[in-house]
Amino acid sequence: MASVLYPRETIITIERHILEEQKFHPEATGVLTSLLYDIALVGKYIANKTTRASFADILGTTKDINVQGEQVMKLDELADHTIYKLNEHTGRIAVMASEEQADIIQIPDKYPTGKYVLLYDPLDGSSNIDVNAPIGTIFSIHRRKSESGPGTLSDCLQPGHNMVVGGYIIYGSSTMMVYTSGKGTHGFTLDPYLGEFLLTHPNIKIPEKPKYYSVNQGYQKYWSEGIKRFTNYLQGLEGDNKPLSSRYIGSLVADFHRNLLSGGIFYYPPDTKDPKLPTGKLRLLYEAAPLSFVCEQAGGYASNGKQRILDIVPESLHQRVPLYIGNRELVEKAEEYIRKFG
């Protein structure tokens, strides 16, 4: 008789998995391993706060407007502060940058600096917080370029292909952490009773046959000819494609995660409705680059419509990019339509 009390398969915690991955790098000192474990802790902490948000008076907005010109939610602020506080004193980080902060975040003088750079979007999709839809944290880790002392802006402005680790935590019906260190993409589900992330999705590969396309179609009238015709293609209105189903939550981590597991494409094209956002809404460093690394390690591809996201050299901290991400053949099809029709 099958037992529900005893696990039949090996249980691998995220800590064990990170330690195993460290063996691929004989030169590793364990600092990156500890840093990743700190990020898993961030995930547990924020998951705990988001699930109890209604009781703790942390739903709703603060009075602040962030550097992106967006209203700051209380949970945005809490997540941002938590990530900072869990990482400022460890001696593992040279400098940090957050989607919520205008400038780079220095390590206080009283603590040592380390060799890594941490970039993060503390709570992506935060406009969904109050309606209980999934939200996420996105992060990436680079090696510092400066030799020592306080980290610099150029430590943060590195192309995605230099990334050491990229990943996200999704706070959905369960909490999952998905990351890559360049050896495949792996997913861990938080067991709230054990308080541990357990390996549930080893070596994720985006399914060959895509199911979904995800875009905010409400803005269609502002799109270029190429984007409109590419969307027609996805709907089977032109070319030889069978229509894909449409899914859009408006929370990048959740939309991306679904398509990673089920196959498909997410895109946030440039639009002309807002002259301030001629390059789309999503941020290269905090959103597009880390998810692109995860996607490519799962066999997918990500582009700004013209070039690989991971090859873009950032010019500023809060630079925005159009994003097309998911199954390689669909992203390449988007590039083809943009090349032909603009």
**Which residues would be at the binding site for ligand AHM (CB under 6 A)?**
70, 99, 121, 124-127, 216, 250-252, 281
Q: Which is nearer to ligand AHM, 12 or 59 (CB)?
A: 59
Regarding 121 and contact with Mg ion (CB under 5 A), the answer is: yes
Pull the structure tokens for residue 220: 């269609």
Q: Is 264 left (phi over 0), alpha (psi -120 to 50) or beta?
A: left
Query: What are the start-end ranges of the E strands in the chain?
Result: 61-65, 71-73, 93-98, 105-106, 116-124, 135-143, 165-171, 175-180, 185-191, 196-201, 212-214, 245-246, 264-268, 301-303, 323-326
> Binders of Mg ion: how many residues, by CB under 5 A?
2
State the Cα torsion 205-207-212-213 to the nearest 10°: 60
Regarding 255 and contact with Mg ion (CB under 5 A), the answer is: no
Regarding 100 and contact with Mg ion (CB under 5 A), the answer is: no
Q: How far is the CB of 339 from ligand AHM (least distance, A)?
A: 25
Q: What are phi and psi of 314, to 5 degrees?
A: -65, 145
Q: How far is the CB of 12 from ligand AHM (least distance, A)?
A: 30
Nearest to 225 by CA among 277, 265, 272: 272
Q: Could you tell me which stretch among 21-29, 116-124, 168-176, 290-298 binds Mg ion (CB under 5 A)?
A: 116-124
Q: How far is the CB of 169 from ligand AHM (least distance, A)?
A: 14
Q: What are phi and psi of 213, to 5 degrees?
A: -120, 145
Q: How far is the CB of 124 from Mg ion (least distance, A)?
A: 4
| 80, 100, 124, 335: residue in contact with Mg ion (rule CB under 5 A) | 124
Which of Mg ion, ligand AHM, none does residue 216 bind to, with CB < 5 to 8 Å depending on kind?
Answer: ligand AHM
Q: Which residues bind Mg ion (CB under 5 A)?
A: 121, 124
